[in-house]
Structure 1
Amino acid sequence: MNPSRVVRENIRKLTDLPNIGKAGAADLELLGIEKPEDLVGLDPYEMYERLCILTGSRHDPCVIDVFISVTCFINGDEPKAWWDYTAERKIVLAAKQDIA
């Protein structure tokens, strides 16, 4: 759903979350996430890695941005567009590569 149209009190199903449409909801369901509350405490980077393993393919990194957006939202942040998290993702992944 478009982040500008999200009303926290109306979140009941996965597609009510910011940046989640049918395909995103299907990805979340594949990860065992059935309702928005299931996202509480999840790590978006781990979610992405699990999704890649479960599907047997490497997904576009913007999927991480979407996962960051919904995990931040479900933990109380304001809804934002997924691309607002791209810079954060790039910094985190670069730091992980420096460690490896």
Structure 2
Amino acid sequence: MKTRKHDSLLNLLMSMPWHVSILLGEATFVAFKWILPVMCSSSLFLKPIAAALAGMAWLFCGLFLLIGLCVFANQKRGRLSEIVIFSGDPEVASVPRLPTVR
């Protein structure tokens, strides 16, 4: 399968394990909330931008956590479907049905 030279960040994160998105979200939160305001405290122009980003750090963190949740769900769903498809036993692949009320 050919991959494009410039994949988007979303496609890249969706192809990686969910742990990567969670760690990236945590790193983004720490960087925007505490590191960036300290680094830009001496600059007159960057200080208000850093303060605004510090207030919105949870949004960026939440975005990466949401991507991680989607990746986790896709990996779990894919693993369950692989178990059902590749198991040779038809009783394992059958889904139990609830009794119907008449």
TM-score normalized with structure 1 length: 0.31
Which structure has more relative contact order (CA 8 Å, sep 6+)? It is 2
Look at both structures and tell me which one has the larger radius of gyration over its CA atoms: 2
TM-score normalized with structure 2 length: 0.31
Choose between structure 1 and 2: higher helix proportion.
2
